[in-house]
């Protein structure tokens, strides 16, 4: 594999052992969430499935069947937005690419979680992932995911959200030195998909999701606030969603008693009201 095509598969919000609270909050915001899933590796999750991508609320249950779950899964991520996951059709070839670029973490790992489909059938959602070297991704993780059973994730009934969200359209990283933070992604995808400098940040289109790397000044100029644990190092901090109707989104937030701001024809929920991640909705 000489190159990778950047396409974001999903974003991961780490909720630690607060899965119940996170589930309730995102339902109040108008997301349709999957039933709680339990990975073979010990973590648990809820998903909000969109057109090309999805949002994952990842955590762990303090006790599963009387046994203590593995705290925080494999990566010990910070609370809030913590994972940027890319699509791949071949985890082994991607791992070789990562080795060639000196960005490899561990070899491909296989895991699964049981799923009940809308028609009542039971199946397993199966995946193979290969991770980017954790030393190159401060305050979080990034990996490539090969979906062996995509029908266990993308079901039309699961893609309908009361708040009108259609896709994850933006993934934002804040850093005091955006150019340095962008280097790992330039190295990963090469010159054909080089990050573009835009104002005080960098930009890479990954399918329907734009990766943006901004300094704190530009982030706040865009209407976002910093996560409470920001220390100047690169930090995944905000998600942007395309919605079918902003008035529909507003109605869901108001009904759910979720605080938000109306800024530049977009609705923004601050990190303090969304689990240490900023959320922006716009048509």
pLDDT value, residue 63: 65
* Mean pLDDT across 35-53: 91
Distances (CA, A) of 87 to 3, 127, 144: 13, 11, 6
Residues 51 and 144 occupy one common structural domain: yes
Boundary residue ending a domain (134, 159, 184) = 159
In the predicted model, is pLDDT for residue 269 greater than 50? yes
CATH number at residue 267: 3.10.180.10
pLDDT value, residue 75: 54
Judge whether 3 lies within some domain: no
Specify whether the CB–CB gap between 144 and 86 falls below 8 A.
yes
Encode pLDDT of 49-81 as tens digits.
999 999 999 998 876 544 444 544 455 788 999
Residues 247 and 107 occupy one common structural domain: no
Residues 139 and 28 occupy one common structural domain: yes
Residues 88 and 181 occupy one common structural domain: no
Judge whether 68 lies within some domain: yes
Residue 249 domain boundaries: 165-282
Number of domains forming the structure of the chain? 2
pLDDT value, residue 221: 93
Encode pLDDT of 204-242 as tens digits.
999 999 999 999 999 999 999 999 999 999 999 999 999
Encode pLDDT of 13-32 as tens digits.
999 989 999 999 999 999 99
Model's pTM, two decimal places?
0.94
Nearest to 250, CA basis, from 240, 260, 241: 260
Boundary residue ending a domain (139, 159, 179) = 159
Residues 148 and 17 occupy one common structural domain: yes
**3-state class of 181 per DSSP?**
helix
Residues 49 and 146 occupy one common structural domain: yes
């Amino acid at each position: 594999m000489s190159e990778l095509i950047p396409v974001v598969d999903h974003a991961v919000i780490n909720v630690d052992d607060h899965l119940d609270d996170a589930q309730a909050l995102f339902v109040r915001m108008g997301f349709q969430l999957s039933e709680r899933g339990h990975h073979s590796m010990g973590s648990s999750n809820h998903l909000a499935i969109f057109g090309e991508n999805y949002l994952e609320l990842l955590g762990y249950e303090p006790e599963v069947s009387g046994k203590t779950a593995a705290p925080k899964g494999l990566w010990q991520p910070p609370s809030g937005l913590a994972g940027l996951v890319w699509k791949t059709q071949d985890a082994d070839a991607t791992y070789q690419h990562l080795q060639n670029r000196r960005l490899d973490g561990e070899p491909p790992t296989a895991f699964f979680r049981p799923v009940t489909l809308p028609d009542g059938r039971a199946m397993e959602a199966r995946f193979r992932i290969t991770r980017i070297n954790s030393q190159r991704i401060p305050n979080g993780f990034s990996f490539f995911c090969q979906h062996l059973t995509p029908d266990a994730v993308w079901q039309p009934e699961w893609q309908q959200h009361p708040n009108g969200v259609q896709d994850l359209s933006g993934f934002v990283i804040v850093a005091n030195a955006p150019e340095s933070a962008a280097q790992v992604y330039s190295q990963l995808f090469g010159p054909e998909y080089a990050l573009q400098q835009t104002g005080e940040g960098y930009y890479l289109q990954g399918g329907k999701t734009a990766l943006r790397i901004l300094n704190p000044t530009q982030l706040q100029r865009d209407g976002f606030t910093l996560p409470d644990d920001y220390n100047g190092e690169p930090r995944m901090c905000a998600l942007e969603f395309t919605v079918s109707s902003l008035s529909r989104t507003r109605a869901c937030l108001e009904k759910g008693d979720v605080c938000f701001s109306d800024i530049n024809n977009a609705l923004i929920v601050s990190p303090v009201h969304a689990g240490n991640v900023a959320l922006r909705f716009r048509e």
